[in-house]
Amino acid sequence: MCRHRGLTTAPLGEGEPVTAPRTPDGSDPPAHATLRKSLGVLDGFAIAASSTAATSSIGIGLGVTAGAVGLHLPIIMLLAFLPVLGIAGAYSRLNRVEPNMGSGYVWVGRSLSPWLGFLVGWIGIVSTIVFLAYTTTVTGSALLQLAGEAGLHTLAGLPLDPDSTAQSTALGIVVLIAVTLTAITGTRSAATLQKYLLVFEYAVLLGFCGYGLFAGPHPFSLDWINPFTIPSGQQLAQGLLLSVFCYWGFESTFSVTEEIRDPEDASRAGLITLFTMLGLFLLGSFAFQRVLTLNELTGHGAQGLTYLGDRLADQPLAALPLVALTFSAVASLQSGVIPTVRGMFAMGRDRTLGPFWTRVSPRYGTPAAGTVAVGCVAAAIAVASLLIPKVGDLVLASVNAIGVVVALYYALTALAAAARFRGALRESPSEALRAVVLPVVSAVVLLGLGGYLCWTFYLSADHFEISPDNGWFMLFCPAVMLLSGVGAAAWAKWARKSPYFVTGISVAPDPIGGAGRAPGPA
């Protein structure tokens, strides 16, 4: 690859260099501001691990998933890990030859189609903003639970209810404002804060789940690792998609790849994050099923980790899992803001989004204005979610919707990698397997899961109702995300006249350098 006045010579499927597109009048695209390179592999891991939010996924997601698959959490977490591992391999290979904060948006646009690439970028933005909105509420709920543990049950005569969406959202928005301001000051400072939070969270998880694994009253059962005893294909598909959602976020490290000193560190951080999550999820799954019954698992929703702590210890030790859950929610709010804004920065410099998103603060070296805007949008969606009165129902609706669209953009990115490195099919069988076969199989699995689940949602209802129990509503949410992306893509192509839609090639400068680098099997 080469750099010259903001142009990029970048690799395609068979290794031929392609120059980045000019603007419609034939001139070179404008130079864009760059972000400061200040991160290492541990910083990338902190951002990705905080975005994946193992503590929140264990404390909340396990109960939601158990509602679909019963006492099969360990095997469902392991099965979901396999296609995600194939996706992670695709991300790592693509990042080696083209490190770009736009990640899937750039790679899919180049290798498959600019329309699909834009859709991947749009899905990533919208799904993360929805995640920020419901995590805002979860954060407020965790703080209200902490207040209750401290003996504060009323405030100015108002009974405090951690399952109240209104109360949780109001308190969570205060936290969202705080973490948004922190994210503005720099990715390094945000990553440093997240590292300290992660150390505490993981110490609590390992302590309580490790103790529960041996002290739980319910005996181990081989049925826990037998997927064939899950009652139906729909429950299996929903459980797998919910589990894929739990791993979602490992790719956040690639969104800051242009701020990492060595792009290889982004790939290392992503894979370290993924295997760390697998270990924690398996530990949490076995521990929860050793300590809690199925009714206890599914009945406590957003308070699942708190209930586990109460079963295993007395106060004040019993409050530690709740503190860890609160820290996890705060960290995931902050880490959710960071990759979303970076994705919009990448799209803004390609003119698929407006120039507002490419403004970099001269003081902090971050897209400060865009960070504030994303925080405001997430807060507005959190307020709109008051239509769903219970926190547990809000979490279920959000997770299902995000799970479907995440499966789609993971699959498209994996297919882009297979297309990009198809030359590996002429190399050794091991290279062909890693570079092409595994990404394609992973993509097919995720597309099949998402498509099957959407079909079951459609068949499960005969009317529309705003409820996580209504299949048409569950189908409506991801449909809105996708259709809004098609509309935004059309506006970018014909109104903004973005050169990205000519070739799908980003105008970002190449952090690697080196003329005409071919993307052979990496």
Summarize pLDDT for 102-151 with one digit per residue, the tens.
888 999 999 999 999 999 999 988 888 888 888 888 888 888 888 887 77
Which of 22-26, 88-92, 380-384 is the most confident on average? 88-92
pLDDT for 24 equals 41
Least confident of 19-28, 123-132, 384-393, 416-425: 19-28
Residue 258: name the closest of 346, 177, 199 by CA: 346
Handedness of CA 491, 95, 100, 420 (dihedral sign): negative
pLDDT for 34 equals 60
The rounded mean pLDDT for the chain is: 82
Q: Tell me the pLDDT band of 303, cut-offs 50, 70 and 90.
A: low
Are 486 and 500 contacting, i.e. CB atoms less than 8 angstroms apart? no
Over residues 88-113, mean pLDDT: 90
Whether residue 511 has pLDDT greater than 60: no
Task: Give the DSSP per-residue string, 313-327.
Answer: --TTGGGHHHHHHHH
Least confident of 128-132, 257-261, 352-356: 257-261
> 3-503 belongs to which CATH class?
mainly alpha
Q: Tell me the pLDDT band of 4, cut-offs 50, 70 and 90.
A: very low
pLDDT for 10 equals 35
Over residues 263-271, mean pLDDT: 84
pLDDT for 388 equals 67
CA distance 272 to 262: 16
Over residues 140-163, mean pLDDT: 82
**Amino acid of residue 202:** Y
pLDDT digits (tens, 9 = 90+) for 207-230: 999 999 998 899 999 999 999 999
3-state secondary structure of 280: helix
Q: Which two tokens stand for residue 100?
A: 């770009």
Task: Give the DSSP per-residue string, 352-370.
Answer: SS-GGGG---TTTSS-HHH
Q: Tell me the pLDDT band of 36, cut-offs 50, 70 and 90.
A: low
Backbone φ and ψ for 365, nearest 5 degrees, come out as 70, 25
Q: Tell me the pLDDT band of 25, cut-offs 50, 70 and 90.
A: very low
Instruction: Give the residue, 365 or 311, on which the prediction is more confident.
Output: 311
159: enclosing H helix or E strand: strand 158-159
The HSE-up count of residue 433 (CA atoms within 13 Å, CB side) is 3
Least confident of 183-187, 213-217, 279-283, 382-386: 183-187
Residue 382: name the closest of 395, 400, 401, 369 by CA: 395
Are 402 and 244 contacting, i.e. CB atoms less than 8 angstroms apart? no
Backbone φ and ψ for 504, nearest 5 degrees, come out as 80, 10
Residue found by looking up tokens 């996706």 in the block = 87
Whether residue 20 has pLDDT greater than 50: no
Q: Which two tokens stand for residue 394?
A: 């809000």
Whether residue 395 has pLDDT greater than 80: no
Are 291 and 216 contacting, i.e. CB atoms less than 8 angstroms apart? yes
